[in-house]
Structure 1
Amino acid sequence: MAEKTFFEPKKSLNVHGKLIDLSQPKVMGILNMTPDSFYSNSRTNSIDQALKKTEQFLNEGASFIDIGGYSSRPGATDISEDEELQRLLPIIEKLAQVFPELMISVDTFRAKVAEASIHAGAHLINDISAGDLDEGMFETVARLRVPYIIMHMQGNPQNMQHQPFYKNIVLDVIDDLAKKLAKLKALHIHDVIIDPGFGFGKTTEHNYELLNHLEDFKIFKLPVLVGVSRKGMIHKVLGTSANEALNGTTVLNTIALQKGTSILRVHDVKEAVECIKLIACLNN
């Protein structure tokens, strides 16, 4: 992989004309407008509930809110673009109105949904497929000129956990992301965040191998987002459930921060913010 395919080191993110300093890690709170997300307490089914949860996240120290209308848990039911838009747009519009300073990320792999969400008031696009599930996504991001989170996933939400295979999980993920980044750079997309994709087309062993080598992703000189919150890589090892995985989430978030993570995507904002504050004391 040639050095010229990579972006220059980035210490900030341009979000709607506002520079976000990522030299200090930030927290992204998860807001699921879905009836079937894997963690039941993350599901939000009304505008009022979304407003209350968003206010809580902001009070606890979240810098971003990530709103999803399509469940990406393993084996999730596929829904139409129209249904996804019906779930997302009213919430985005209301949050943008009530919290004008809020930085809203839309969790979608569909270009049409992404564009409509940005026009409704969202500021970032969080694409679990890194463009693989909609060939129009890269061009859409380039036209909208918004920050773009690309996540590695093998397959799609319906089949990604059917015997995922890699020759070398770390090198394979890095190589796949490098190819995507080269395409983004050619389109002059500069505000990019990378996500190794914990739990997306990966076994438990793959997930821990990625976490163990997370610092290798510094080769891209881009901010890294980690989303391990309450996932199976925690509760399957502990023999518990997503509802009981907060302590394990905190442990893995701490490790991720020590390896250079810039953004933690979580269900529990307060605890993630505390992780960041404590790790900062080690680095002073």
Structure 2
Amino acid sequence: MTLNCKGQLISLEPPLVMGILNITPDSFYDGGRYQQPKQVLNQTEKMLREGAAFIDVGAYSSRPGADQVPEEEELSRILPIVELLLKEFPEILLSIDTFRSSVARECIAAGAAMINDISAGNMDPNMMETMGRLKVPYIMMHMRGTPQTMKNLTDYENLLESVMYYFSEKIALAREAGIVDLILDPGFGFAKTLEQNYELLRNLSLLKQLDYPLLVGVSRKSMIYKLLGLSPEQALNGTTALHMYSLSRGASILRAHDVKEAVECVRLHQQLSE
């Protein structure tokens, strides 16, 4: 499998790592850490040096119950960071974590390479059409509701059937809109209980039947630290364990706070698979 990023064909074999750069003040793990240009540049350089293929920049926290951020504020947060990173690292492949088509459009125009949409178009009816015009890779995540309401929307008659049907519908809409490069994100922690997260992870290989790359985002999430009775800061070992399991079930991209450890998982898994 490959992705066309700014004219480059990026192979997903072996799997790649996407480093997380939250520039929000309220993200669940690293909120507020990367507010100044020097902090942003240092962290980005570190992740690139450790082997991140993509850097995912987010200016709107999607943690459960997060405050809503006006569109103008999201743009004012993220555009200067996109410009800063591309000036310092001209070859960088930036993923923009947004559900707003206007933010997607502005960031791609500024030089970003792909869009990571937690709502798969549900929170902006113009997103699919916009992505079809932009012709960049599009990550579609499974979620019910919004970050403000999702924790109350975990009543599934059959979780796996629901997720498969959701993606089947979204893939059809994406194709109709002219989107070529799609990545599917099962949405761990989004409108799912702890038990449902693990049910979905155990059955991750079922999503491979849809024949699109899978992105797994479990890094330091509550499905790890709550189960183990820890804090997000103590959840690296659990994250590594689930990264290795995700790779064995077909993950193509690991979205991670800790790039070095995720890259090591990929290398070890690759060796075991030979």
What's the TM-score once normalised by structure 1's chain length?
0.95
CA contact 1:161–1:200 (8 Å) conserved in 2: yes
CA contact 2:22–2:30 (8 Å) conserved in 1: no
CA distance in 1, matches of 2:111, 2:228: 40
Poorly superposed stretches of 4+, deviation over 2 Å: 40-43
Instruction: Name the structure 2 match of 1:65.
Output: 55
How far 1:41 sits from its partner (Å)? 6.4
Opposite residue 10 of structure 2, the aligned amino acid is: I
Instruction: Name the structure 2 match of 1:197.
Output: 187
The C-alpha deviation readout for 1:236-270, integer Å capped at 9, x for no partner, is: 10011101000000000000000010000000000
Instruction: Name the structure 2 match of 1:135.
Output: 125
CA contact 2:59–2:74 (8 Å) conserved in 1: yes
Instruction: Name the structure 1 match of 2:34.
Output: 44
The answer to whether the aligner puts 1:108 opposite 2:101 as a matched pair is no
CA contact 1:104–1:123 (8 Å) conserved in 2: yes
How far 1:103 sits from its partner (Å)? 0.4
CA contact 2:105–2:130 (8 Å) conserved in 1: yes
Instruction: Name the structure 1 match of 2:166.
Output: 176
- Work out which of the residue numbers 158, 167, 176 in structure 1 matches 2:148: 158
Opposite residue 146 of structure 1, the aligned amino acid is: V
CA contact 1:166–1:172 (8 Å) conserved in 2: yes
What's the TM-score once normalised by structure 2's chain length?
0.98
CA distance in 2, matches of 1:179, 1:41: 34
CA distance in 1, matches of 2:33, 2:180: 32
Opposite residue 139 of structure 1, the aligned amino acid is: E
Instruction: Name the structure 1 match of 2:82.
Output: 92
The C-alpha deviation readout for 1:19-51, integer Å capped at 9, x for no partner, is: 001111000000001000000367410121111
CA distance in 2, matches of 1:88, 1:48: 15
Opposite residue 176 of structure 1, the aligned amino acid is: Y
CA distance in 2, matches of 1:12, 1:164: 33
Q: Which runs of 5+ in 1 are unaligned?
A: 1-10
Counterparts of residues 1-284 of structure 1 (less than 5 Å) = 11-40=1-30, 43-284=33-274
SS of residue in 2 equivalent to 1:161: helix
**Percentage of identical aligned residues:** 54
How much is the aligned-residue C-alpha RMSD, in angstroms? 0.9
The C-alpha deviation readout for 1:128-171, integer Å capped at 9, x for no partner, is: 00000000000000111111000000110001012511111111
CA distance in 2, matches of 1:123, 1:102: 9
